[in-house]
Amino acid sequence: MIDFKKFFPFLNKVVYLDSAAMMQKPISVIEKINEFYLNFAVNTHSQNSKIAYENLAKIAKTREKIAKFIDAESEEIMFNSGTTEAINLFASMIKKFLKKGDQILLSPLNHSSNLIVWIKIAKEIGAEIIYSKKIIDKISSKTRIIAFSQTNNSILLNLNLDEIWKKAIKYDVFVLNDATQAISYQKVSLNFCHAVAFSSNKFYGPTGLGVLAIKKNLINKLEPTKFGGGTIASLNSENIFYYNNYRKFEPGTLNFAAIWGLDAAINFVNNIGIKNISKRLEILSNYLYEKLEKIKDIEIFSKKGDHILLFNIKGFNSSDIASYLGNNNIYVRSGTFCVPFLKKILKKNSFVRISLAFYNDFSDIDNLIEHLEKKEFLDFV
């Protein structure tokens, strides 16, 4: 098995099994962020300089690379602070198409960032929230918006994005794909939705940067709900004239250093290949499941082959297990992972979550299993 850890400095220090919370960053990404601050730290709003133009070119090129990666056009790519902001921005702009009695269709496994804003909007307008894990079975003539995660951060589902899209189009429904967990290992495409949101942080890139991609024909119908410099072509005492492209949705100074880092992350992923990442992840996920299921009194809530896996061990609190592992330099997570309905769905109050990435290896899993088998979860206190 190829040693990918050599590209990730932090992995020399810990056993990292919490990638659903934050992906680790390859050295090439870290170096590009440093390069920006060392050599290119000029605002693009100060356009009368060579460095500012170089920054503009870098941003444009990164926009093009993202577009190609998700089957979009560069004019459809907007930068923001992360998936949470991207979803909130899309919701605040699309809500003008909602009316009283319309339905917003959500997965009960959605992250809070893809739940709370829709519940607030539904209450404000008088729309109805409908929940379905399958999504497609609840699409009807009353549905106006669908918001789901291509890959969830807890229990993984196999959604047929093509069929959901076809039925949504039939009923004239807007579709948002929260792709923040999928973008690191699956094909993500704007061909099967109106909007895609994801974080650089979950794509081996820096924190503090996100992407919202919206189909061009919809962008032209939306108005910004966040305002600031760089968004308007002109202004008089009565009227605002916005740029008629992505610029009107990117107020203020962008996170330039993070964009440089994301550009390097895209190059890194493209050099390895998303299919190769997915295949390696499948091998590791199967190995993890086979090892875990042999542990006495373990209760596994995920399927074999899931790279995000939830479990409990009878007689022990999930937080004690996670704390014990953390104090032994093995990083997992416990809780419900910002999925408010997870307790109701799985009928447990808390879980231990292991989330693998392609940079993990068999030794990481073996180390985890060795510590779990000891069941010394209270001895570290």
Catalytic position from the list 22, 27, 218, 338: 338
Q: How far is 213 from 238, CA to CA, in rounded Å?
A: 31
For residue 243, which phi and psi values (nearest 5 degrees)?
Answer: -65, 140
DSSP state of 148: E
CA distance 149 to 80: 19
Q: How far is CA 313 from CA 140, 264, 325, 367, in A?
A: 41, 40, 13, 17
Residues 6+ apart with CB under 8 A from 309: 285, 288, 289, 292, 300, 301, 302, 353, 354, 355, 356
- Nearest to 56, CA basis, from 250, 269, 266, 268: 250
Q: Which run of H or E residues covers position 240?
A: strand 240-242
Helix/strand/coil for 377: coil
Measured CA distances, 356 to 16, 115, 282, 346 (Å): 8, 25, 10, 21
Whether 223 contacts 243, CB under 8 Å: no
Say whether 193 is catalytic. no
**Residue 373: which H helix or E strand, with range?**
helix 362-374
Spatial separation of the C-alpha atoms in residues 262 and 241, rounded to whole Å: 31
What is the spatial distance between Cα 189 and Cα 175, in angstroms, rounded to a whole number?
Answer: 12
> How many degrees, rounded to 5, is the angle at CA 149 between CA 147 and CA 150?
120
Q: Could you tell me what percentage of the chain is helix, strand and coil, using 3-state DSSP and rounding each to the nearest 5? A: 45, 15, 40
For residue 316, give the amino acid letter. F
Q: Which residues are catalytic?
A: 338
